[in-house]
Amino acid sequence: MSDERSVGAAHAAQQQGPLSQDARTLLLYDANRKSAVVAYILWFFLGWFGAHNFYLGRKGVGIAQVLLTITVIGWFITFVWVLVDAFLIPGWVRRENNLLLMQLGA
């Protein structure tokens, strides 16, 4: 009886075939999309070092924040900069996810 089930399951899997392009795109998007929650956690704990910017693909800005943080005079500038970033993170996440969709051809 179990042999008949396994043969039936194998036959059903052959009929379904590979994933459709839409399903593949959706899986790739879900695996690679950016999360605002993760960005805010990085901002809260490591914002002084630009971790949220590195996560969102903004490497140049992240490096600038690290360099300002390690200088004594740059601490105030970095503090203000990180506060402003808190309001801009949702737009950056949206932009990164839209770029990902364009790259995937959705």
Look up the pTM and report it.
0.78
**How is residue 103 written in tokens?**
């790259």
pLDDT of residue 13: 45
Residue 5 has pLDDT above 70, yes or no: no
Q: Report whether pLDDT(106) > 70.
A: no
Single-letter amino acid, residue 54: F
- Is the residue at 78 inside a domain? yes
* Alpha-carbon torsion angle 33, 34, 35, 36, nearest 10: -140
pLDDT at 31 over 60: yes
- In this structure, is residue 6 part of a structural domain? no
Indicate if the pLDDT at residue 3 is higher than 90. Answer: no
Whether residue 50 lies inside any domain: the answer is yes
Q: Is residue 89 part of a domain?
A: yes
3, part of any domain? no
Residue pair 85/47 in contact (Cβ under 8 Å)? The answer is yes
With 50 as the cut, is the pLDDT of residue 30 above it? yes
Question: Is residue 10 included in any domain, yes or no?
Answer: no
The single residue listed with the structure tokens 């690290």 is 66
More confident residue, 73 or 29: 29
Query: How far is 81 from 29, CA to CA, in rounded Å?
Result: 30
Nearest C-alpha neighbor of 89 from the set 60, 57, 49: 57
Spell out the residues 6+ positions from residue 105 whose beta carbon is closer than 8 angstroms to its own: 25
Greater pLDDT, 86 or 2: 86
Full residue range of the structural domain in which residue 69 is found = 19-104
Domain count, the chain: 1
Residue 39 lies in a domain: yes
The model's pLDDT over 65-105, given as tens digits with 9 standing for 90+, comes to 999 999 878 888 999 999 999 999 999 999 999 999 999 98
